[in-house]
Amino acid sequence: MQKIKIGVIGGAGYTAGELLRILIYHPQVDIVFVNSSSNAGNPVTAVHSGLIGETDLIFTSDLPLDKVDALFLCSAHGDSKKFIEANEIPKEVKIIDLSTDYRAKSLDHDFVYGLPELNRDAIKKATHVANPGCFATAIQVALLPLASKGLLNDEIHVNAITGSTGAGVKPSPTSHFSWRNNNISIYKPFGHQHLHEIGQSINQLQPDFNKSVNFIPVRGNFTRGIYVTAYTRCNLSLEEANKLYQDYYKDAAFTFLTDKNPDLKQVVNTNKAIVYLEKHGDKLLVVSMIDNLLKGASGQAVQNMNLMFGLDEKAGLGLKAAGF
C-alpha cells in the first residue's frame, strides 16, 4: 500500500509534538511538511527536543496542500476555522482538526465528531473529522454505555483532574512549575467548554436526556493524564453494569474495563482509556482515565486517521504505559 502523505499545521505545540512522535514511526505514513510560521527554517527538534535522533524534519512556513493526503490541524482554538477559510484545500484531502472549532454539529460544516467509541462507522466514511476534547473523551467513555440503554435519568456528578500539559505549551500563571508544583485548584466549575460536546454525544444515544452534568475540572500537580470520577443514580447491580460496559466496549480498540481499582500511570504514554465501576447504594461510580495528549488528543487523531484510510485502527499506536 502506498504511504499516506501527511501535513501538520501548528507544529510547535504539545499536541503536534506528540503527533510527530507517533507519525515518525507509523508504518503507513510519510510526513511531507510541518508548518510553523514562527519556527520556519528551524529543525523540528529545536522545539520538540524529545525527537533528537528520530527525525531531520524542518519547520516550514510553506503550505504544499496539494502534496498531501491528510492534514492535521494542531492550531489554537479558533484558528482552524480561519485556516480552512483562508486556504484552498483540495477536496480530496482528509482533515483531522484537533481544536474545538468543528466539534459542535452544524449545517455549516461536514465534520464528523471523532470519538471512535461513538462514531466509528461514520469516521470511516468521513473526509473531515473533529477530534474530541481531552476531558470530553474521558467523561464520555465513562457515560456512553449508560446512555446507550437510556439509563442516564438523574443528575451526573463529575470530578476530573488533568495534568499541566492540558493548558498548552504557552506559559500561563497557572501552568508555571513554581505555581503548579505541590498545588491543586479548580477552574471553570459547572461551565467548562467541553460540556457541550459531552451533552451532544449523550443526546445522540439518549435523545431524552435533559439532566445536569455537574462537572468540576481540577488542575493537577503532574504533567500528563486525566483521572475522572463520575457518579449518578442507577438501578443496575454492579454485575449488570459491568456486563453493560463489557458489551459496549467489546469491539473498542483502546477502551478497556477493569475489575481492579486502576491508577493513572496505567494509561500515561498510551492511547488507552481504562474504566472501572463500583456500586454504592443506588449510585454507580465510574472511574475513567486517559493520557490527555494521546487518547485525549494526538493518539486519538491518529486512530481517526487510521479509520479514515481503512488501516488497522491500532497502527502506530502500540505504546506502553510509563508505569514506573
For 146-165, what is the mean pLDDT?
95
Residue 79: pLDDT band with limits 50, 70, 90: very high
Question: For the chain, what is the total number of helices (H) and then of strands (E)?
Answer: 8, 14
Q: Is the dihedral of CA 22, 268, 245, 194 positive or negative?
A: negative
Residue 162: pLDDT band with limits 50, 70, 90: very high
Residue 63 scores a pLDDT above 80: yes
For 246-268, what is the mean pLDDT?
97
For 279-307, what is the mean pLDDT?
98
At residue 59, the pLDDT reads 96
Lowest mean pLDDT among 64-68, 75-79, 149-153, 312-316: 75-79
- Amino acid identity for residue 25 in this structure: Y
At residue 149, the pLDDT reads 98
From CA 30, how far away is CA 3, in angstroms rounded?
A: 6
At residue 181, the pLDDT reads 82
Q: Is the dihedral of CA 210, 126, 74, 54 positive or negative?
A: positive
Burial of 181 (0-12, 13-18, 19+ CB in 10 A): exposed
Residue 284: pLDDT band with limits 50, 70, 90: very high
For 197-201, what is the mean pLDDT?
96
Residue 169 scores a pLDDT above 60: no
At residue 71, the pLDDT reads 98
At residue 303, the pLDDT reads 98
Sheet holding 29-35, edge to edge: 59-60, 29-35, 4-9, 70-73, 94-97, 128-130, 112-113
Lowest mean pLDDT among 38-42, 88-92, 105-109, 175-179: 175-179
- Going along the chain from its start, the domains and CATH numbers come out as 4-131+297-308 (3.40.50.720), 134-290 (3.30.360.10)
Sheet holding 226-233, edge to edge: 185-186, 213-219, 156-162, 226-233, 283-290, 273-280, 255-257
Question: Model pTM?
Answer: 0.94
Alpha-carbon distance values, 281 to 105, 237, 238, 239, 257 (Å): 37, 10, 10, 14, 21
Burial of 235 (0-12, 13-18, 19+ CB in 10 A): exposed
At residue 168, the pLDDT reads 59
Residue 182: pLDDT band with limits 50, 70, 90: confident
Contacts of 186-192 with CB under 8 Å at 24 or more apart are 186/216, 186/217, 186/218, 186/219, 187/217, 187/218, 187/219, 188/217, 189/215, 189/216, 189/217, 190/214, 190/215, 190/216, 192/135, 192/217
At residue 170, the pLDDT reads 62
Selected catalytic residue, list 22, 134, 213, 241: 134
C-alpha grid cell for residue 205? 444515544
Q: Is 134 part of the annotated catalytic residue set?
A: yes
From CA 227, how far away is CA 287, in angstroms rounded?
A: 7
For 313-320, what is the mean pLDDT?
95
From CA 33, how far away is CA 28, in angstroms rounded?
A: 16
At residue 167, the pLDDT reads 59
From CA 56, how far away is CA 188, in angstroms rounded?
A: 41
For 286-297, what is the mean pLDDT?
97
Lowest mean pLDDT among 126-130, 193-197, 250-254, 315-319: 193-197
Residue with the bigger pLDDT between 77 and 71: it is 71
Instruction: Give the distance between the most distant pair of CA atoms in the chain.
Output: 61
The overall average pLDDT reported for the chain is 94
